[in-house]
Amino acid sequence: PDKNLQKVENTHEIEHLYVQVYSEVQKDNMDIRVPVDFDDSKFNMNDNVRLTGKVVARLQTGTKRVDVTTANGRTRQETVADYFFTVSAEGLEKVSNQSPTPAPQPPQPKEENQKK
């Protein structure tokens, strides 16, 4: 046996949960890792949410195969780098769907040296 390999044992304990959210910035679904005691009952579909507490994004690297069209019109497959992030957060909070109303601006002082 390889001494560098770690033995994996099932502890039968849930360490964390995943909540799937859609990111308008990424234009894709994201799985957000949250603590086991996270209460998702106060959220509804299509609620705007914000990640709260300690937020960690980890870069995952890999490769993927893509079709590339050559100069002579043929298609071949190439292996290219593939990057994605896994995100964990201590929690989520609802964000109001209403746009904030701008604060009233104080009146501008009149210029005293106006040309006549």
Per-residue pLDDT of the chain (116 residues; tens, 9 = 90+): 567 777 888 888 888 888 888 888 878 888 888 889 988 888 888 889 998 999 998 888 999 999 999 999 999 999 999 888 888 888 889 988 655 555 555 555 555 555 54
Residue keyed to tokens 């106060």:
42
CB-neighbour burial class of residue 86 (10 A; exposed 0-12, middle 13-18, buried 19+): middle
Identify whether the C-beta of residue 51 lies closer than 8 Å to the C-beta of residue 19.
Answer: no
Distance CA 22, CA 89 (A): 15
91: Cα separation from own chain's centroid: 13
